[in-house]
Structure 1
Amino acid sequence: MELAQYLQYELRYHNPDSRRSQAGFPDLVLGSLSRRRVLFRELKTATGRVRPAQALCMRILKLAGLDVGVWRPEDLASGRILRELRGDK
């Protein structure tokens, strides 16, 4: 969240207790007006699996043309999260 704030993402929504939201909805939603980007990310541990409801929700969001994916701890170390937040190709 700090990295998203540093990169001026005005919308930073993370539900740490997903039991109270619709099954399958991504854990994290980030939006930036200046970058013209909205990201939906499921947060998983290194070995965590995407559940069927999560896979369905991600397919639907992708069908709508939205930027959807899964982030794991190693994605921060590899620089993937920073690249995706900046919109690097």
Structure 2
Amino acid sequence: MKVQDYRALQAKAMSETQLQDLIIALAKQMGWLSYHTFDSRRSTPGFPDLVLVHPKQKRVIWRELKSETGTTSAEQKVWISTLLLVGEDVDVWRPRDWVSGRIEKELRGR
């Protein structure tokens, strides 16, 4: 099995919750503060899953998390496009971004 095939299998098997747990743990190790709404049923629909703040990098990033097959809702698309419009660092992360190293690279800074 090729490395890329193995990574694809890893990504496919990872849930959004598992992805979130991995990201929060890594972010904490790297000095990020993180916020995630525990129970979003009474919150504004579409608000991104994670807000991460790094005081030394002077950065705030907004991330919506999705499984490999998850899709963004209309409300999530509004939040993402509006945050982009005002110049914020916002994106969608998926398990493939974890196994490829993209998430760690973005947390380290560009």
What are structure 1's unaligned runs of at least 5 residues?
none
Length, aligned pairs only: 87
Identity %: 51
What are structure 2's unaligned runs of at least 5 residues?
1-23
Rounded Cα–Cα distance in structure 2 between residues aligned with 1:35 and 1:27:
21
Please say if residues 16 and 27 of structure 1, whose CA atoms lie closer than 8 Å, have aligned partners that are also in contact. Answer: no
Q: 2:94 aligns with which of 68, 72, 81?
A: 72
Task: Pick the structure with more helix per residue.
Answer: 2
Matches within 5 A, 1:1-89: 1-9=24-32, 11-88=33-110
Secondary structure in structure 2 of the residue aligned to 1:75: helix
TM-score, normalization by structure 1: 0.91
Tell me how far 1:67 sits from its aligned partner.
0.3
Between 60-69 and 16-25, the greater mean CA deviation after superposition: 16-25
TM-score, normalization by structure 2: 0.75
**Structure possessing the higher radius of gyration over alpha carbons:** 2
Q: Which runs of 4+ in 1 moved over 3 A?
A: none
